[in-house]
Amino acid sequence: MRIHEDYAGYGKRATNVSVNQGLLEDAKALDINLSATLEKALEAEVRARKREQWLEENREAIAAYNARIGHDGVFSPMFRKS
């Protein structure tokens, strides 16, 4: 499994998690690597929440930029509508 470059330099750390027993049994029967699966899912969740946080923190700036472009148009004539 390949993880995002932001986390590539970090080592592994043991932790305890609680998992539904039936789900755990099925995962083991299907030979699912729990650590890799959790890491992949956790990375996706962290990425999604960081994106949401960034969008919220920059909401006003994005709205101001979009308003300016709506009013003044884009800088490059290549993208301007005639």
- Give residue-wise pLDDT tens across range 65-75: 999 988 888 87
**SS3 sequence of 36-80:** HHHHHHHHHHHHHHHHHHHHHHCHHHHHHHHHHHHHHCCCCHHHC
- Give residue-wise pLDDT tens across range 6-65: 777 788 889 999 999 999 999 999 999 999 999 999 999 999 999 999 999 999 999 999
In this prediction the pTM is 0.71
- The structural domain count of the chain equals 1
The residue segments making up the domain with residue 36 are 5-79
